[in-house]
Structure 1
Amino acid sequence: MAGRGRALRYRSRRRGWLDTLPLLPFTLLALGLGGGGTMILRESGLADWLLGSPAGSAAPTVSRSFPVCAGGARITCVVDGDTFWLDGVKFRIADINTPETSQPQCAAEAALGRQATGRLAQLLSEAPFTLEPADRDEDRYGRKLRIAMRDGQSVGGMLVSEGLAHQWRGRMESWC
């Protein structure tokens, strides 16, 4: 009985620590360990916008190079066709769903997922865009949900028109 109580206390203590992980990028940036990330966030206006800017304020314009993510720290890079990191914050493009690259269901999905990933990296890098609010702030994985817009057109919509994404309909659709 005493061992069980100790295990429950350990689990609750461990769970409490894990609950702080989504805040880690902000903590590192606040401490200045983000490789200059604090200055980038402040200059770009992303810090104020992410932390709750006044209602009606415009989304910041983003103009960066977005390579495909590789090993190591993920600061600004593309994970897959609908997920990317920007200044240490993970975003999911809210209006689309693209093929999986980490656990594809078939070879066709894997190949299309690689194409979508490369194309998103190209689209985000080639010209400035804004990140507009979606129907909710975050998904269940803690990713910021935003719609990437360029010149009044959704970047996700561009991927849909090229056959590299599905319009988001509230659930994942098969690529196989």
Structure 2
Amino acid sequence: MSRDTTSRSNVVAFRAPPSKQSGLSASFIFALAGCFLGVFSVIFFWGGPPPSEASATAKSDAVAEAESDKISAKFGICGEGPRSTCVVDGDTIWLHGTKIRIADINTPEVSNPGCAAEANLGHDATRRLANLLNEAPFSVLTIDRDEDQYGRKLRIISRSGRSLGAVLVAEGLAEEWNGVRRNWC
């Protein structure tokens, strides 16, 4: 019998007093609320605006997503007739039957150039883009808008997290797209 009494007294000794089992204390609730507020603040203020708020954020999101370059195709320069996978000019391609406008750049025109210098630079940009696309697998990333006014898909093309459009800009064959076409003459 003394064993049972000892066993019961051990059980009773581990139970919390009834007054502390009745609910959460105010200090615990405030501490919990403070933790949630702190986590929310870190995510909201340090995480930046949502991707739909700015195209610059869409570009950085696109580059961050580019960790898996999986698209590979053989590109030539587009000619007359049906188009499947080819380069139209320095900022427009066909990929497996889909017409894509490279959203982060503008290049000189090849179809209606304003002068011979623009035509030459446009052809250089076209050939360079074909070479870049043929070098290795790449990613095609969406931006905040799906299509332009001509029905072309607006995308950023990147490899290893770097925009191929940025490569063309660095080489002097394109400019960053700012919503206005430049006079290349």
Q: TM-score range, shorter-chain basis? A: 0.5 to 0.7
Q: What's the offset of the Cα at 1:99? A: 0.1
Q: What amino acid is the match of 1:152?
A: G
Distance verdict in 2 for CA 1:175–1:140, change over 3 Å:
same
Match of 1:165 in 2: 174
Structure 1 residues 9-88: aligned runs within 5 Å: 61-88=70-97
CA distance in 2, matches of 1:77, 1:102: 15
Structure 1 unaligned runs (5+)?
1-55
Give the structure-2-normalised TM-score.
0.62
1:59–1:131 contact (8 Å) kept in structure 2: no
Query: Pairwise CA RMSD of aligned residues?
Result: 1.6
Q: What amino acid is the match of 2:78?
A: C
Q: What amino acid is the match of 1:159?
A: L
Equivalent of 1:129, from 138, 146, 161? 138
CA distance in 1, matches of 2:101, 2:70: 17
> Which structure has the greater CA radius of gyration?
2
Identity %: 60
Moved over 3 A (4+): none
Match of 1:108 in 2: 117
Q: What amino acid is the match of 1:115?
A: D
Q: What's the offset of the Cα at 1:61? A: 2.3
CA distance in 2, matches of 1:150, 1:60: 6
SS at match of 1:110: helix
CA distance in 2, matches of 1:99, 1:105: 9
2:69–2:159 contact (8 Å) kept in structure 1: no
Higher relative contact order (CA 8 A, sep 6+): 2
Give the structure-1-normalised TM-score.
0.66
The size of the alignment, in residue pairs, is: 120
CA distance in 2, matches of 1:59, 1:126: 16
SS at match of 1:62: coil
Distance verdict in 2 for CA 1:169–1:159, change over 3 Å:
same
Structure 2 unaligned runs (5+)?
1-64
Q: What amino acid is the match of 1:67?
A: G
Q: What's the offset of the Cα at 1:60? A: 7.2
Bigger helix fraction: 2
Match of 1:4 in 2: none
